[in-house]
């Protein structure tokens, strides 16, 4: 490892490992599971671009390789080849600035009395600090600042040590009992893939905040954050892992238990707005279809006279197509994206974010010259990208630029695993819509309403208990959020003390 661990830090103010990650898990006795996991992670690259890792197991020994960078930078034939076995889990990770270190890269791997145990995690435990303190009081040493290490250390302990009131583990195997005990004490968002010496387990928090789905392929079973990973490796989608469910993949096939009662369903609505790949299937609908409906609803709610509709590539293109279809105003390409630069939303530094918009897009003048443009974006978080985009369109010849956003104003941070910035950084927390319009320099600005977004997302979902987290828009969090997490100044101090400013 090339980076150094801070010698000490204040537990009360440990860093917040906010991340939006991609996870995989494969059971395949006749498959090259490492290679398949590599290609699955490659497809999930949009979920995390700072580190990647794979752990495999041959029934006795576990093999690991992980590193900083894109999946294609971390892996090559030479380091994939030694990853032997019939079980694999993989992870790619995005973290906030403070957590961008190799020691925080996943999957985590430890040796237990029952053989290797490895965990890949997407989400964020809101009570990680309390759980971390309990582990340290028990004498468990921790080597990183992530909640994933807390999870793996809790799983390494017998269930009665994890949850004092753990029910008897009748009929459950050792790991099912431990995962269930973990789910009794963990709060917040978690989708997990877990590797042991003879099985892959997958679990999802009782609110279903982060996605996780199950697929099958010739000779194997697979779990992944998004169904798009299945197509890449020749697997087919079977179903989503249910909130509160543990599934086990081994020689007996798929075993399922409802480990904890599900709570009101709260899949992150931002998966539809921005994160997930458009070809991913969630809740019976493709993300692309939902984004088109968001655009249609936006056109109904926020019409404006113009000549063309332009979407910010790539994530806002479906919404722009929807807006165009609903309004009758032609869709046109107006911004050309350099596809080999990462998404500006996930660049960690403010200065880089501002540069990012210029590096990332070029205006297509032949389409823009003399036109009144409706620019569709999927969201505005800090507001650093919108102003440069409006200026680019004007430089390209647009006579008017009307910005329409296919989600409501982001006014609240996310504590469930997404880097949504702090209150101080959120432009919609500091300014009203007119204030934001003036800052970004658009001729007009409007957002989709909260009710409009929810109805567009849920329109095609048939199950009666549908529900989504929209806390970054509404401030209504689906899980308990410890008060200290809201204190911006304290968050800043934590960051500076632990990681340096
Ligand atoms: S607060 Fe926003 S980003 Fe976080 S889980 Fe909820 S909808 Fe998703």
pLDDT at position 129 is: 87
CA distance 473 to 245: 28
Burial (Cβ within 10 Å: 0-12, 13-18, ≥19) of residue 397: middle
Give the nearest ligand 1 atom to 468 CA: 7
> Which residue owns the Cα nearest ligand 1 atom 8?
268
Expressed in angstroms, the distance from the first to the final Cα of the chain is 22
φ, ψ dihedrals at 393, nearest 5°: -65, -40
pLDDT at position 50 is: 86
For the chain, helix, strand, coil in percent to 5 are: 35, 25, 40
pLDDT at position 359 is: 67
**Residue 409 vs residues 317, 344, 424, 433: alpha-carbon distances, Å:** 19, 18, 14, 8
CA distance 475 to 415: 11
pLDDT at position 99 is: 56
Q: Are 151 and 91 in contact (CB under 8 A)?
A: no
CA distance 104 to 40: 21
Q: Are 181 and 151 in contact (CB under 8 A)?
A: no
φ, ψ dihedrals at 211, nearest 5°: -75, 155
**Which residues are CB-neighbours of 247 under 8 A, at least 6 positions away?**
201, 202, 203, 214, 223, 241, 254, 255, 256
- Kindly report the number of other CB atoms within 10 A of residue 343's CB atom: 16
Pocket test residue of 125, 271, 418, 474 for ligand 1, highest count of atoms within 8 A of CB: 418
Q: Are 211 and 24 in contact (CB under 8 A)?
A: no
| 386 Ramachandran zone, left/alpha/beta (phi>0; psi -120 to 50) | alpha
C-alpha 25 to ligand 1 mean position (Å): 24
414 an active-site residue? no
The b/e string for 280-317 (b: 16+ C-beta within 10 A; e otherwise) is bbbbebbbbbbbbbbbbbbbeebbbebbbbbbbbebbb
pLDDT at position 268 is: 96
Residue whose entry in the numeric block shows the structure tokens 């655009």: 295
pLDDT at position 417 is: 83
Q: Are 239 and 255 in contact (CB under 8 A)?
A: no
Ligand 1, residues at Cβ distance < 6 Å: 209, 268-270, 414, 416, 418, 420, 469-472
Q: Note the CATH architecture for domain 271-477.
A: 3-Layer(aba) Sandwich (3.40)
CATH 3.40.50.800 is the classification of domain 17-263 = no
The packing angle between helices 317-327 and 287-301, to 10°, is 50
Report the length, in residues, of the chain. 501
Give the nearest ligand 1 atom to 412 CA: 1
The packing angle between helices 386-395 and 350-360, to 10°, is 30
Strands (E), 325-442: 335-337, 361-363, 372-377, 400-405
> Which residue owns the Cα nearest ligand 1 atom 5?
268
The b/e string for 185-221 (b: 16+ C-beta within 10 A; e otherwise) is bbbbbbbbbbbbbbbbbbbbbbbbbbbbbbbbbeebb
Q: Are 372 and 400 in contact (CB under 8 A)?
A: yes
**Pairing status of strand 188-195 against strand 200-204:** antiparallel
CA distance 321 to 290: 12
CA distance 442 to 437: 6
CA distance 9 to 133: 13
Domain boundary assignment for the chain: 17-263, 271-477
C-alpha 242 to ligand 1 mean position (Å): 18
In terms of C-beta distances under 8 Å and separation of at least 24 residues, what long-range contacts does 59-63 make, across chains too? 59/85, 59/86, 59/197, 59/198, 60/115, 60/197, 61/85, 61/116, 62/109, 62/116, 62/118, 62/195, 62/197, 63/34
- Residues with pLDDT less than 70, the chain: 1-19, 95-100, 165-166, 339-359, 484-501
DSSP string computed for 80-109: HTT--SSEEEEEEE-B-GGG-SGGG-S-EE
DSSP string computed for 245-269: EEEEEETTEEEEEE-S---S--EET
Give the nearest ligand 1 atom to 189 CA: 5
Q: Are 424 and 236 in contact (CB under 8 A)?
A: no
- Classify 468 as helix, strand or coil: strand
* Catalytic choice (21, 213, 268, 414): 21
- Residue 419 in tokens: 């880097």
Give the nearest ligand 1 atom to 410 CA: 2
């Amino acid at each position: 490892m090339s980076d150094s661990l801070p010698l000490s830090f204040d537990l009360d103010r440990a860093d917040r490992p906010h991340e939006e990650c991609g996870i995989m898990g494969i059971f395949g006795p006749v498959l090259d599971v490492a290679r398949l996991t590599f290609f699955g992670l490659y497809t999930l690259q949009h979920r995390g671009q700072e580190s990647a890792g794979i752990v495999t197991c041959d029934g006795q020994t576990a093999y690991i390789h992980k590193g900083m960078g894109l999946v294609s930078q971390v892996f090559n034939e030479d380091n994939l080849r030694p990853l032997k076995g019939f079980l694999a889990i993989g992870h790619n990770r995005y973290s906030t600035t403070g957590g961008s270190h190799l020691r925080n890269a996943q999957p985590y791997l430890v040796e237990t009395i029952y053989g290797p145990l490895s965990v890949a995690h997407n989400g964020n435990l809101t009570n990680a600090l309390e759980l971390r303190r309990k582990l340290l009081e028990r004498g468990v040493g921790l080597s990183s600042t992530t909640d994933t290490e807390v999870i793996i250390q809790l799983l390494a302990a017998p269930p009665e040590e994890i949850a004092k009131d753990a029910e008897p583990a009748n009929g459950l195997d050792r790991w099912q009992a431990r995962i269930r005990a973990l789910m009794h004490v963990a709060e917040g968002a978690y989708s997990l893939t877990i590797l042991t010496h003879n099985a892959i387990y997958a679990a999802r928090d009782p609110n279903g905040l982060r996605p996780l789905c199950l697929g099958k392929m010739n000779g194997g079973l697979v779990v992944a954050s998004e169904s798009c990973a299945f197509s890449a490796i020749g697997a087919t989608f079977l179903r989503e892992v249910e909130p509160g469910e543990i599934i086990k993949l081994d020689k007996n096939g798929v075993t399922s238990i409802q480990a904890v009662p599900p709570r009101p369903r709260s899949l992150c609505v931002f998966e539809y707005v921005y994160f997930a790949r458009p070809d991913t299937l969630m809740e019976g609908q493709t993300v692309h279809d939902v984004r088109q409906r968001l655009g249609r609803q936006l056109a109904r709610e926020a019409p404006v006279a113009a000549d063309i509709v332009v979407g910010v590539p790539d994530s806002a293109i479906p919404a722009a197509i929807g807006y165009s279809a609903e309004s009758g105003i032609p869709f046109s390409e107006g911004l050309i994206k350099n596809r080999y630069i990462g998404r500006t939303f996930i660049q960690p530094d403010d200065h880089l974010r501002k540069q990012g918009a210029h590096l990332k897009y070029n205006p297509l003048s032949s389409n823009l010259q003399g036109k009144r443009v409706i620019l569709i974006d999927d969201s505005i978080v800090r507001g650093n990208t919108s102003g440069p985009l409006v200026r680019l369109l004007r430089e390209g010849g647009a006579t008017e630029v009307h910005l329409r956003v296919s989600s409501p104003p982001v006014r609240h941070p996310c504590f469930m695993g997404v880097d949504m910035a702090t209150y101080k950084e959120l432009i919609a927390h500091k300014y009203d819509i007119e204030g934001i319009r003036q800052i970004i320099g658009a001729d007009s600005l409007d957002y989709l309403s909260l009710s409009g977004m929810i109805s567009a997302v849920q329109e095609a979902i048939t199950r009666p208990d549908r529900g989504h987290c929209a806390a970054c828009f509404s401030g209504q969090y689906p899980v308990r959020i410890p008060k200290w997490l809201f204190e911006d100044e304290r968050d800043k101090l934590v960051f500076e003390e632990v990681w340096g400013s």
